[in-house]
Chain A
């Protein structure tokens, strides 16, 4: 949203925050010195150091009404992450980490070099300039890192925008303190002549450089953090998608059934292994495949075979699918997940079990209509954690193959739960 919206709030916050950083910074800077001929560089360097700190100047998102509370969180920066995605995690790297400190020192040195290169004017030794600039930049960088390291715990849980503004303020404060120390220290040691009106210029230059570098650095940290988070989220989503296809409970229970049958009835155990293999083959295959209805029904029967061995008399299956064209095309894994849901939510929670009714017919318009019905346990029976993913997957598959000509409807009435799939009759190419 708009920067101006919340600037006042942030300013207010900063007013409260300033003192702390500057005091801390003060200790650090006391010895820094700048070199007279190139005061400008020093300050610049200072900015650099902030590298460590802030993030970037992404427009902050939401003005925070509760600005007065130091602990409020801001909306995350707009760039990559949508609003609702509130970052809980601190996006700044851990500045207390030795590797991070080393990286910062190297970065600060590069900046110092850049600054002294660009600032060199005729006559003056390039090396003198670099040394003084480095000294200054390193001071600002290290002091900023120290302050940010110390404040890290405080920033846990803040919104990204709060963290950003806070870090930004801290680095600028450090810059001011180091600049002042360098200026007065330099004057005291007589390293450069104190000119009239030059003090202000020195400070402003340093602050400007610091602000720019800090902004770029914070921005970099933020983007890098988001990238990392996105990669993690993607990996997580993949695992979830896989789990949605293969319910771990079913897998392990089937394994257990096989282990048991291996002792009592090896031939049956063999059958279960074959059924399970078929199920997994299909589950791991390309989900975009269309298969003849007969094949999908056969797969469903294999699944039910395993479940019947496991649940025994508790599971009864009534199937009425003979009257439907077996060559009708249907997205793979449309019926089996619905039947699996029926077993999971409708049969397993009932001590006495129940019946699943699987029907397929052709309606007057020639559409194929498949229904899966199961008893619906009373609300008293603890509901199992749902698996809407299975239903969503079925919907997606139907949509991908038939657009809005196919649909999945759910009906929950009279103690029965009925899932109905309707799709146009198209012959499968086999």
Chain B
């Protein structure tokens, strides 16, 4: 059995490592200092179980677990935390196991035996419950060529719905994800605006609204890209123009 330890504190990792070795029968394949690193290591090393701290900088444990649920094979997740955060009530509600730090050896051994995989739906529900209805990820993840790719949400210019997938256009290129535009719109409504039936554009990047001689509307992004605007979304953009947020 392979195990990964993710915690942003060195002493915490060292202790868990020691305890797991004492329990025996399990190989610690790596240690990660934040959620992003944990996710990438998971993708690379395919551990069976991950001990995942909830509070970590960059990408926290809850979000990392959401991305991990999409891995193939997905690891079983055991959350660890030093203090009862809101998340714990949500875990209890969804029968997800967690360990309180400092972790007791017997408790850890028990958790390792019954560790379970978490589904995306489960993690979405738990995250939402734990964060008061909010479940904004900091990263978008997709699999390409058997490996996971991560794009920071702040780096995304727009999402565009295609035939089968949604393509994520970001600073470094394009990524295909298998998520409906609708759920992306709900999750990131503060950051992205629906400008077209199939397009969500980053609010911060929209700098102007244009109309061509044929009467079609377009939004201009900071990087000079032009995105089509559907008729029904023109009024919302006009309101932004009036508010002085963008120009025509």
Contacts and interface: CB of A to CB of B under 8 A. Distances in A.
Interface string A266-277: 000000000000
Looking at chain A's contact residues, the main secondary structure is helix
Interface in B119-173: 138, 152, 154
B245 interface: no
B120 to A, nearest CB: 20
Contacts of B36: 351
Contacts of A350: 57-58
B57 A257 contact: no
A187 interface: no
A261 interface: yes
Contact of B11 (A251, A309, A314): A309
Given A249-B83, A255-B102, A256-B102, A351 B11 contact: no
Contacts of A252: 82-83, 100-102
Nearest to B191: A380
Interface stretch (B12-20, B209-217, B218-226, B232-240): B12-20
A349 B57 CA distance: 4
B102 A311 contact: no
A386 interface: no
A311 B55 CA distance: 13
A351 B8 CA distance: 8
Contacts of A349: 57
A350 B100 CA distance: 23
A351 B82 contact: no
Q: Could you say which interface size class chain B belongs to?
A: 20 to 34
Interface string A309-333: 1111010000000000000000000
A380 B100 CA distance: 28
Interface in A292-317: 309-312, 314
Contacts of A248: 83
A257 B154 contact: no
B82 A253 contact: yes
Contacts of B11: 256-257, 260-261, 264, 309-310
Given A249-B83, A263-B15, A380-B154, A256 B9 contact: yes
Nearest to A378: B154
Contact of A257 (B9, B58, B83): B9
Q: Could you say which interface size class chain A belongs to?
A: 20 to 34
Nearest to B10: A312
Interface in A238-252: 248-249, 251-252
A249 B9 contact: no
Contacts, number: 73
Contacts of A259: 15, 102
A257 B12 contact: yes
B70 interface: no
Nearest to B80: A256
- Most chain B CB within 10 A, of A249, A256, A257, A261, is at A256
A382 interface: yes
Contacts of A260: 11-12, 14-15, 18, 102
Contact of A351 (B14, B58, B152): B58
B33 A351 contact: yes
A260 B13 CA distance: 9
A256 B33 contact: no
Contacts of B12: 253, 256-257, 260, 310
A60 B60 CA distance: 50
- Most chain B CB within 10 A, of A252, A253, A257, A260, is at A260
A254 to B, nearest CB: 9
Interface of B: 8-12, 14-15, 18, 33-34, 36, 55, 57-58, 60, 82-83, 100-102, 138, 152, 154
Task: List 10 tightest A-B contacts by C-beta distance, closest first.
Answer: A260-B15, A260-B11, A252-B82, A259-B102, A351-B58, A256-B101, A351-B57, A256-B102, A312-B10, A257-B11
26 contacts: A251-B83, A252-B100, A252-B101, A252-B102, A256-B15, A256-B101, A257-B9, A259-B15, A259-B102, A260-B12, A260-B14, A260-B15, A260-B102, A263-B18, A310-B10, A310-B11, A310-B12, A311-B8, A312-B9, A348-B8, A348-B57, A350-B58, A351-B36, A351-B58, A381-B57, A381-B58
Given A259-B102, A351-B34, A351-B57, 8 more contacts: A252-B100, A255-B101, A255-B102, A260-B11, A260-B12, A264-B18, A311-B9, A312-B9
